[in-house]
Amino acid sequence: MNRNPERSEVIRVPPTPRLREWSEAHGFSPELVARWGEFYPDLLALLKALQSEPRVFVRLNPLRGDPERTAHRLRQKGFVLQSTPLPGVFDVQEQPFSIGATEEYLLGQYYIQDASSVVAPLALGARPGERVGDLCAAPGGKAIVLADLMQNHGALYCFDEDPGRVRALESNLARCGVRCAAVHAGPGEDAAQLGLAFDRLLIDAPCTGEGVVQRDPTRRRGHLGEYAACAARQASLLDAAHGLLRPGGTLVYSTCTLAPEENELQLQRLLDSGRFDLEPLPPAVARLRLGANALHPGLTRVAGRDLDPRLSRAAHLLPHLHGTLGFFVARLRRGNP
């Protein structure tokens, strides 16, 4: 069995005539839909979820206000907040006006981010006093969670190569009261020039974004050719990670795509190198039940190929199972050396 497919290999699943007809009627690429049906359970429910309005979540920010007090203030203004299993994360079920236009938002007392995006920093588990890198940090939602986990004490390095998004990153970090971060404008690989050994790294990699179709309907027409470009970018970041981490350091790799080429197959390549081990997610993440469902394990068989069984330790959040945007997360440990 080929456990190490070429980096640029794209898995093609021929769509059935019925699937093709349905896809064309609903503005989806038939090739994408056929792939999703191959990889994930209950295709119909997934497609229905991808066509629905995404839920709105907020994460209350303890760096800028007591979360209970913030929740109380929002409820007093007429917002209906439903707690979730994720600490400090609420499902905003009713908004008398935009949740992004409140005084509390401007004071940094909460951040608007999908529940799925909080999972990656929780999986990384940063602690006070550590040196942590967020290699694709903009616009900063995950970095703010990391700073909170670090209790605003430590060294958090945030990189992003998009100048416009770097400004947003700086702005969000300041608004939310983060004192322990330094911002670098440039690709995450630039961290190698700093001469630092990180305790932990987060790579929330640029990707084809299939999991965020609800927010960006243009992604319904994704082309298979995009996978190769994204996979190459992701591989470059992952290759840099080994040199950036101290021996035994922790890496969390995450994406918001459903494509195995960008998720499991990327990690397969890393596991084959022998330089990383794929760890179980921390219990607080592994035992999560969102939408009354446990996280969906990483795929260990893709298009007839068996992959490393350790990939089942990674996890997917799927819109139809978990009520969030689509997300993939895996936790790895750098070997010695």
Partner 1 sequence: MRPACEDERAQLERALERWGKGLLEPWIRPAQLWVREAPPALEFYALDAQIAADLAQTEARRAARSAGLPLARLSRGRLELLLEGAFELGRRTQASRVHVNDKAAGLFLYGKTVLGESVASIDPSARPGDVVLVANPRGEVLGTARLVQPLPARGPALEPLLDRGWYLRKGG
- CA 139/CA 142 separation, integer angstroms: 8
- CA 115/CA 153 separation, integer angstroms: 24
Q: Quick check: 289 binds partner 1 (CB under 8 A)?
A: no
Q: Quick check: 139 binds partner 1 (CB under 8 A)?
A: yes
Interface pick for partner 1 out of 121, 141, 154, 209 (rule CB under 8 A): 154
Q: What's the min distance (Å) between Cβ of 72 and partner 1?
A: 12
Determine the number of helices (DSSP H) and then strands (DSSP E) in the chain. 12, 17
Interface pick for partner 1 out of 39, 157, 327, 328 (rule CB under 8 A): 157
Interface pick for partner 1 out of 32, 50, 144, 156 (rule CB under 8 A): 156
**By CB under 8 A, which span of 159-167, 245-253, 267-275, 288-296 interacts with partner 1?**
159-167
Q: What's the min distance (Å) between Cβ of 63 and partner 1?
A: 10
Dihedral, CA of residue 223, residue 35, residue 240 and residue 143, to nearest 10: 90
CB 251 within 8 A of CB 333: yes
Q: Quick check: 326 binds partner 1 (CB under 8 A)?
A: no
Report DSSP letters for 31-57, one per residue.
HHHHHHHHHSS-HHHHHHHHTSPPP-E
Interface pick for partner 1 out of 170, 199, 262, 308 (rule CB under 8 A): 170
Q: Quick check: 193 binds partner 1 (CB under 8 A)?
A: yes
Q: Quick check: 131 binds partner 1 (CB under 8 A)?
A: yes
Q: Quick check: 320 binds partner 1 (CB under 8 A)?
A: no
Dihedral sign computed on CA atoms, order 158, 316, 48, 224: positive
- Is 180 an active-site residue? no
Q: Quick check: 171 binds partner 1 (CB under 8 A)?
A: yes
- SS3 label, residue 276: strand
Q: Quick check: 183 binds partner 1 (CB under 8 A)?
A: yes
Strand pairing category for 181-185 and 155-160: parallel
Q: Quick check: 164 binds partner 1 (CB under 8 A)?
A: yes
Looking at residue 182, the DSSP 8-state letter turns out to be E
Asked, as a colleague might, if the bond just before 139 is cis with ω within 30 of 0, I would say yes
Q: Quick check: 167 binds partner 1 (CB under 8 A)?
A: yes
Residues designated as active site: 256
Residues that bind partner 1 (CB under 8 A): 100-101, 103, 106-107, 129, 131, 139, 152-157, 164-172, 174-175, 177-186, 190, 193-196
